[in-house]
Chain A
Amino acid sequence: MLLTWLIFLPLAGAVPLLIVRDKNAREIKVWAILVSFVTFLVSLPLWFNFDPTGDLFQFVEKHRWITLKNLNAGYNLGADGFSALLILLTTFLTPIALLGSWNYIKDRQKEFYIAMLVLETAMIGVFAAQDLFLFYVFFEASLIPMYLIIGIWGGENRIYATTKFVLYTVFGSLLMFVAILFVYYKSGSADFAIADLAKALDDARAHGRLTLKEEYWCFWAFALAFAIKVPLFPLHTWLPDAHVEAPTPGSVILAGILLKMGGYGFLRVVVPFFPRAAEFYAPVFAWLCIIGIVYGSLMAFAQKDIKKLIAYSSVAHLGTCMLGIFSFQAIGVQGGMYQMLNHGISTGALFLLVGMLYERTHTRQIDYFGGIAKIVPTFTICFVVITLSSIGLPLTNGFVGEFACLMGAFLRNPWWGFFGGLGVILGAVYMLYLVKRVFFGKVIRRSNESLEDLDGREISLLIPLLAMVFVMGLAPTPFFKRMEPAVNAFVKASEGAHPTASAKPSMAALDAPAPAVSKRGDVQ
């Protein structure tokens, strides 16, 4: 029942807000934060009671939901390593984002907090659902609150941004919906449970019921939906607009969690369902990721708005994640997943910090600042530490993820490792250039001389993030251990049609007779 509790706790918490009057703003905020914090506490068993050596899926719940003659969707929940960690990320970031919106959201506070709580429900639902139909419902449901959050509490150009965001996403997910139905009927699966579907698809493949052509089409339908969400180049242009217009907490959640649904979709659905197609198109995606890394970095370098810069840096970072995942090497997938968590932490923190700056100055133009390190030292320290995490300095979280991603990519194809690695250089270029322009040099504006440093609330909401930066940098092993079974299952699934003996890049494998070289993507 844990997952059900998690999913519906925020929603239930939103109900009392409906009847509260808008003028009790303080109570509304406290209540919403309390609800999300309790949700976080409730989610902790996902960490402590998750047994990495146990079943692949834990905390499983299975109930009948829609049972029609030929449509059988269940209420199936469960958490493997991927799900558990992403749910934890969600419950961890949401209270921080809510606390971060304390002063930022000034009007229609009640509605805002309701939207945020509903959003949390949808996000947890996406990660907990092990039924494709349910997954889709939550996946789409998460759009609605985000649409409102950007569209109502956003900046000047918010309507354009939010429309673009929704249209982009819906375009992909409608294609996906068609593909879901196609896959369901084609595979002859008894229900929509993801595991059953994957098995049925394997069966259909084995018996020739699912032709290669159909598989490729379905793959693209699914992949497009998730690639837009990630976002992969060239489907990324909604992201900068959405981020620039979104209010701070919206940005935090958008970058921190919503984008992860894309990567999660690839891990959970796309590759296990269509291993042949995934293998065949992996190079395409890898090169798109690489272009995304280099291109996103260059874009970030060219920006004049801090938030836009960070948004583009997300494109680069998620390119790294996806590159790791598309290497189909265990270490790369682990790195990709880990980098998603890292990105949630560090980019979330960056957006919070930018939001704090915006609250003080009402601008995000880089030119406006300069030399403020002297005036706001604590802020500067926080920003620089998060920057270092973002550019993957060792002993911060960013390094481990980036290292594993790039190693996975390198093991698959050395050139992927090399070109993907350019992000290491370019990341330092644009982030340090940003730090230099904002914080170093002389104070160029008199008005900046009276900037206030962080107050207690702001520090208290940054501390967990800063702590996670170092915890995840110094002790990543517990995370990797929790992911490992899921990663192995994923890698095995990705080898689907042609299972190979070992993906382990080790000399130990040399002792065994050399396995026949598996021709991945060798399909007729």
Chain B
Amino acid sequence: MDFLIDIIDTCVKWIPGWIVNPSHIRAFYAESLFIIPLMPLLGFLINGFFRDKISRGASGLVASLAAFASFLWAVLCFHACRGHLPEFDHGAGYLHRMLSTEPLHKVYGTWFDTGTFSCAFGLYMDQLSGVMALVVTGVGTLIHVYSMGYMAHDKAFARYFAYLNLFLFSMLVLILADNLVLTFVGWEGVGLCSYLLIGFWYEDGEKAAAGMKAFIFNRVGDLGFLLGIFTLVAAFGTANYYAAPHALGSYTLPVVAPHKSFVKDSSKEEGKREVVMMPDAPGLIDYADGLKLMGNADAKVPLGYKADGGNFDLSKTAGAKVFPAGWTVGFAISLACLLLFIGACGKSAQLPLYAWLPDAMAGPTPVSALIHAATMVTAGVYMLARLHALYLFSSATMDVVAIVGGTTAIFAALIGLTQTDIKKVLAYSTVSQLGYMFLGAGVGAFALAIFHVVTHALFKALLFLGSGSVIHAMSGEQDMRKMGGLRKKLPITFWTMVIGALALGGIVPFAGYWSKDAILANVLAKAMETHETSYWVLYLFACVGAFCTAFYTARLIGLTFFGECRASDEVKAHIHESPPSMTVPLIVLAVLSVIGGWWLHNDLISFLNFGEISQNAENEHVEWINLICTLAASFGGAGLGILLYISKVFVPKPEESKNPLVRLSFNKFYIEAFYDRGVTGFFSIFAEALHLFVDVLLIDFLLVNGVGKLVRGLGGALRKTQTGLINVYATGILVGALAILFYLLKG
């Protein structure tokens, strides 16, 4: 590995060497962060504006090159932010260099500034966003290449690549943003791309509807996200993660790593109190760190207020207009975290907002691989990790995160057991794996959650691309019951998918094992530590989920590749291995799925640098108990799956099953039906009824036109007095004149 790093090292120093003084290399990379999202944006613009003129080959090439350039630049920037630079090169060893990090942070300009709240276009790359950017651009590039083969026969080739590039752009904005609002830009942007790509074949109304469903479910979450931002802004007055870099382009070394925002000024000691200096215009994480310090030490509070066990009563402060009496900062943070987590539930398909993800499989398979498995759906986990400093303040929210994650993990795994559509199995598996990530985050193991994001991105993208290869070979057939025996005909797809399956199933030493095992160990440790039943239950859920995962993965492989081919003769005749543009990405991902977990499991966790919070379970008992449990679950599930579906290939007919459990699982616990029919139906009927009864009948007919009718009626009544006879009028005049005279004389 050192060899590779040396090459990158050379590049990092060499490239900007042309342009800038070597001592400003870090500034150069900070300045150039924008190149990472810019590349796909350019690709989008080219493919979008010239979609009719550009040739197919050029279109795919432009898009793939854009993704690849973005990947390369992300590698360089990531490397730069990990300290492989002259300023940092203290001659220390590899590990030291790994740990001494300084994020790249650059504010390019103001986006909007209303006077009381401003938001900047700023990019920020630290280890966390660096890892995510690498995953997104790396897997993204592979999937772009794969798509050139997969979509070769599609009419709207350029449109597809334009959307794909737009997605990469949005995702990179989401990841690299230096404030929550800009993250939200990416957050909504990926939702839009997801909408466009799920409904890519819009001529099929159902696919367009699936795209719409995804967008609307995401929007439900987005409202939570927005309100979370508002809460944080109300409490802290900012949505930035960190304080802005001191001066544009110039960087100073942190005095105290890893929290660059804090400078402990020991010269101003007052007795035993430590003075904590906040940076100018601190960000949310700075505040969170400050609050943590206040909670720990009897420090002078940077906010100008005495700490009261970390709780200020917001109702006595500037937030008074916002917060009802009795709200504390702690409560505000909890609320914000909870609201943001709703956003994460929407984006990352957690209960109860998961129902869009299975439908999202209507999109082209590479899209499912990129957006609905590897990258977009992990945005929620990323957001939690990004804000972990806040989440750690709110144990209640953390519990909610863990419970939702654990429940989703087993829930989706149970549904996955009986699905027959190959992509649906993988979709529910994705939901389930995302549940594991949230479970990990919920017990405080944010680094492990991100680790699982990375490994999951590798093996799930592999599985999806493999299934795409299968579907491609089967002329579009997705029902596993009509496949079978494909291992001879699609050898590369078969072997790579087996590797992916092993990784997903959590079999040692493939990628999935390392991350899932570590998360489970943390859950177990938490359960042992807190002695709370709920965490024991969650651990049980997670183990059963792991069992189910291994089982349905084996089932998927068995039904697809083993036994006799159950396809029609016509389809059979066309079965062929996919072209190299599709198999090469498969092979790359397969290799990474084999070694990824082992390669990264120490480095990634240590350099994600979440401090003391997310450690591996130290307790040796925990390690062993967990190892036994997870291995038992994985091998047990896999063994059962092999027994049922590989050694003797049982073709399931879940829709005819009498077993209520099977029916429940096959019908997805009827939740999706509830959404599709119940909620949608209620909504439209309610809207129609409201329109008819309130708008048309009550307001318009009764009130508005009612007033008109009343006036007309009165007029009609008064009209009768107009006889048209002069004498009557004259009498009226006389009587009136007399009345006035009488009134005047009397007054």
Which residue numbers of A lie inside 8 Å of B, CB to CB?
Answer: 164, 167-168, 234, 237-238, 295, 298-299, 301-303, 329-331, 334-335, 371, 373-374, 388, 393-395, 399-400, 403-404, 406-407, 410-414, 417-418, 421-422, 424-425, 428-429, 432-433, 436, 439-442, 474-477, 480-481, 484, 487-488, 502-511, 514-515, 517
Contact = CB atoms under 8 A, between A and B. Distances in A.
A441 B204 contact: yes
Contacts of A407: 117, 229-230, 233
Contacts of A302: 684, 687-688, 690-691
A300 to B, nearest CB: 8
B227 A418 contact: yes
Interface in B70-121: 110-117
Given A331-B116, A335-B114, A417 B227 contact: yes
B192 interface: yes
B234 A436 contact: no
B216 A334 contact: no
B202 A441 contact: yes
Given A394-B185, A400-B112, A424 B219 contact: yes
A394 B187 CA distance: 9
Contact of B695 (A299, A388, A393, A417): A299
Interface stretch (B317-325, B505-513, B600-608): B317-325
Interface-central residue, B114, B319, B699, by most chain A CB under 10 Å: B114
Interface of B: 110-117, 181, 184-185, 188-189, 192, 195, 199, 202-205, 208-209, 212, 215-216, 219-220, 222-223, 226-227, 229-231, 233-238, 287, 303-305, 316-323, 683-684, 686-688, 690-691, 694-695, 699-700, 703-704, 708
Contacts of B684: 301-302
B237 A507 contact: yes
B284 to A, nearest CB: 11
B112 A476 contact: yes
The 8 lowest CB-CB distance pairs between A and B, nearest first, are A506-B237, A441-B205, A440-B208, A509-B318, A394-B185, A410-B230, A302-B687, A302-B691
Contacts of B319: 505
18 contacts: A237-B700, A295-B694, A330-B115, A411-B230, A411-B321, A411-B322, A417-B230, A421-B226, A421-B227, A425-B219, A441-B205, A441-B208, A480-B114, A484-B114, A504-B116, A505-B318, A505-B319, A517-B320
Nearest to A414: B322
Nearest to A501: B318
A442 B205 contact: yes
Given A302-B691, A329-B321, A505-B321, 7 more contacts: A330-B115, A410-B227, A414-B231, A424-B219, A425-B219, A510-B317, A514-B318
A510 B115 contact: no
B287 to A, nearest CB: 7
Contacts of B317: 509-510, 514
A506 B15 CA distance: 42
A78 to B, nearest CB: 22
Contacts of A475: 111
Contacts of A436: 199, 205, 208-209, 212
Contacts of A517: 320-321
B230 A425 contact: no
Given A393-B192, A412-B321, A424 B117 contact: no
Contacts of A502: 318
B699 A234 contact: yes
B118 to A, nearest CB: 8
A477 B114 CA distance: 7
Contacts of B699: 234, 237
A164 B287 CA distance: 56
B322 A298 contact: no
A397 to B, nearest CB: 11
A235 to B, nearest CB: 9
A507 B700 CA distance: 48
Contact of B683 (A301, A394, A480): A301
Nearest to A410: B230
Nearest to B113: A477
Contacts of B202: 371, 373, 439-441
Contact of B303 (A238, A412, A510): A510
Contacts of A393: 188-189, 192
Nearest to A374: B203
Contacts of B691: 298-299, 302-303
B188 to A, nearest CB: 5
Contacts of A295: 690, 694
A219 to B, nearest CB: 22
Contacts of B688: 302
Contacts of A335: 114
A388 B695 CA distance: 27
A412 B322 contact: yes
Contacts of B208: 436, 440-441
Nearest to B209: A436
Given A404-B114, A414-B231, A394 B188 contact: yes
Contacts of B695: 237, 299
Contact of B205 (A388, A440, A503): A440
Contacts of A504: 116, 237, 318
A298 B692 CA distance: 11
Contacts of B111: 474-477
B305 A510 contact: yes
Contacts of A413: 322
A418 to B, nearest CB: 6
Nearest to A163: B708
Contacts of B231: 410, 414
Contacts of A425: 216, 219-220, 222-223
Contacts of A484: 114-115
A508 B700 CA distance: 50
Contacts of B237: 504-509
Nearest to B181: A403
Nearest to A474: B111
Contact of A298 (B203, B205, B212, B687): B687
Nearest to B704: A237
A92 B450 CA distance: 49
A499 B688 CA distance: 46
A422 to B, nearest CB: 7
A395 B189 contact: yes
A164 to B, nearest CB: 7
Contacts of A510: 303-305, 317-318
B215 A428 contact: yes
A394 B305 CA distance: 36
Contacts of B110: 477
Given A234-B699, A394-B184, A425-B223, A164 B704 contact: yes
A452 to B, nearest CB: 17
Nearest to A401: B112
Contacts of A303: 691
A303 B691 CA distance: 8
A139 B227 CA distance: 38
